[in-house]
Amino acid sequence: MTAIETLKSKNTLRDVLTRTEKEGTGLGHFNVADQTLVKAVVAAAAEAELPVIIGASEGEREFFGARELAAFVIAQRQESDVPIFLNADHTHSLAKAVEAATAGFDSVVIDFSALPFEENVARTREAVQAIKAINPAILAEGEIGNIGTGSEIHETAQGDRTLSTPEEARQFVAATGVDILAPAVGNMHGMLKSMVQGKAKKHLDIERIAQIKHAAGVFLTLHGGSGTDDEHFRKAIAAGINIIHINTELRVAWRRSLEDSLKRQPNEVVPYKILPPVVDSVKRVVGSRLRLFSAQGMVNEMPATA
Ligand SMILES: [Zn+2]
């Protein structure tokens, strides 16, 4: 089988994560809030011939409609040569987790990380059991530690963020039954102004990632990947990160290209003439990240990315 034939065969998210973990590559997760963004992510994955995860937080699902988004992504998947998965990002209630599982999402990020550890464990365990009762193949992700909120542009770094410890990772996974863990390892949601301007990069605690991977023994997700140093992404994947979330970089590209398209066509009112440059611009961001995450073992041949 050629690479593309292998990709075409119907794989579950667990299959693809197992394969990428063996290969030492990472799987890109990109948030969407509308059809323009979904088109951009799907087009980038098709062009790169790589599997991809489309994600939507509670706010994004509310805007799109959880069932509507699932139906749209499932329709795209049927046309696609590469696996396209759908994740319910940052879900803060049992009801919303159940809603996503029922709608056909492939995975749910159960996020009670703002609660004290014991309460986080109890609420997460309850949600894991509930969604697996709806769909035994669904993957449950849990979150420990504080990585800030809001995939937006922040003026200054938010509060103090303590890193997750290997021991709490081990305890959390054992007590909740999650398939995927999202630790705090120097990552944070959103980007600082200086990062958007390209003057600063996020740095990750690679050693901590390796320790947590060893202790937890499950797939790991890196949230808040936007603005992270490329070399740190490569090292993080090598240390055990399986999924990387990128949101703010897409939102910045979306807004800039939309403003630009409107400026270039001041009298245009036809959406399908205004929006294609936006799809293209977001697609370029997604494509460059997908290629970076999938390029393990080819580190020296990687072109510089924006
Ligand atoms: Zn996140």
Q: What is the pLDDT of residue 297?
A: 53
Mention every residue, 6+ apart, whose C-beta is less than 8 A from residue 137.
12, 14
- Asked which of 134-148, 238-252, 287-301 is least confident by mean pLDDT, the reply is 287-301
149 C-alpha to ligand 1 centroid (Å): 8
What is the DSSP secondary-structure string of 11-51? --HHHHHHHHHHHT--EEEEE-SSHHHHHHHHHHHHHHT--
Cα–Cα distance, 108 to 99 (Å, whole number): 10
Q: For residue 49, how far is its CA from the centre of ligand 1 (angstroms)?
A: 25
- Distance (angstroms) between ligand 1 centre and the Cα of 223 equals 4
Enter the pTM of the model: 0.91
How far does residue 267's CA lie from ligand 1's centre (Å)?
38
Distance 90 CA to ligand 1 centre (A): 6
| DSSP letter (8 states) at residue 266 | T
pLDDT tens digit string along 186-201? 888 888 888 888 888 8
Tokens matching residue 181: 């863990």
pLDDT in tens, 203-221: 899 999 999 999 999 999 9
- Gap from CA of 184 to ligand 1 centroid (Å): 11
> Exposure pattern of 230-264 as b/e (b: 16+ CB <10 Å)?
bebbbbbbbbbbbbbbbbbbbbbbbeebbeebeee
Compare 274 and 1 and report the one with higher pLDDT: 274
For residue 82, the CA-to-ligand 1 centroid distance in Å is 24
How far is the centre of ligand 1, averaged over its atoms, from the C-alpha of 78 (Å)? 27
Q: How confident is the model at residue 300 (pLDDT cuts 50, 70, 90)?
A: very low
- Centre of ligand 1 to C-alpha 91, Å, is 10
- pLDDT at 165 exceeding the cut of 90: yes
Whose tokens are 């489309």? That residue is 54
Residue 304 pLDDT exceeds 50: no
Average pLDDT, the chain: 91
pLDDT grade, residue 223 (50/70/90)?
Answer: very high
Taking the centre of ligand 1 as the mean of its atom positions, its distance from the CA of residue 162, in whole angstroms, is 16
CA of 244 to the centre of ligand 1 (A): 9
Categorize the per-residue pLDDT at 153 as very low, low, confident or very high, splitting at 50, 70 and 90.
Answer: confident
Ligand 1 center to 37 CA (angstroms):
17
Confidence bin at 306 (pLDDT 50/70/90) = very low
* 29 Cα: distance to centroid of ligand 1 (angstroms): 10
What is the pLDDT, as a whole number, of residue 9? Answer: 52
Residue 189 CA, ligand 1 centroid: distance in Å:
6
> What is the predicted pLDDT for the residue at 66?
97
- Beta carbons within 8 Å of 66's beta carbon, 6+ residues apart: 56, 88, 99, 100, 103, 105
In terms of phi and psi (left: phi > 0; alpha: psi -120 to 50; beta: otherwise), the region of 108 is: beta
With residues binned 3-state (H G I as helix, E B as strand, rest as coil), the percentages for the chain, rounded to 5, are 50, 15, 35
CA 263 / ligand 1 centre spacing (Å): 32
46 Cα to the center of ligand 1, angstroms: 24
> What pLDDT does residue 234 have?
95
- Residue 117: the pLDDT is 95
**C-alpha 199 to ligand 1 mean position (Å):** 23
Question: Taken in order 147, 148, 151, 152, is the CA torsion positive or negative?
Answer: negative
Q: How far is the CA of 151 from the centre of ligand 1 (A)?
A: 8
Q: What is the pLDDT of residue 158?
A: 63
* Distance spanning both ends of the chain, measured CA to CA: 34
Instruction: Give the pLDDT mean for 108-128.
Output: 97
96: three-class secondary structure by DSSP: helix
Which amino acid type is present at position 287? G
* pLDDT tens digits for range 2-60: 555 555 556 899 999 999 999 999 999 999 999 999 999 999 999 999 999 999 999 99
Query: What's the CA-to-centroid distance between 167 and ligand 1, angstroms?
Result: 22
The confidence band for 250, taking pLDDT boundaries of 50, 70 and 90, is very high
Q: Is the pLDDT of residue 152 over 90?
A: no
Across the range 53-70, mean pLDDT stands at 97
Q: What is the mean pLDDT of residues 67-96?
A: 96
227 three-state secondary structure: coil
Rounded distance from Cα 273 to ligand 1 centre (Å): 32
Q: Grade residue 160 by pLDDT with cuts at 50, 70 and 90.
A: low
Residue-by-residue DSSP string for 197-225: TTS--B---HHHHHHHHHHH-SEEEE---
Q: Output the CA 150–ligand 1 centroid distance in Å.
A: 8
Q: Within a 13 Å sphere around the CA of 230, how many CA atoms are in the beta-carbon half?
A: 16
pLDDT given for residue 301 in this prediction: 42
In the three-class reduction of DSSP (H, G, I as helix; E, B as strand; rest coil), residue 122 is classed as helix
Which residues have C-beta within 8 Å of that of residue 286, sequence separation ≥ 6?
28, 30, 40, 41, 44, 45, 52, 246, 250
Q: Percent of the chain beyond pLDDT 90? A: 78
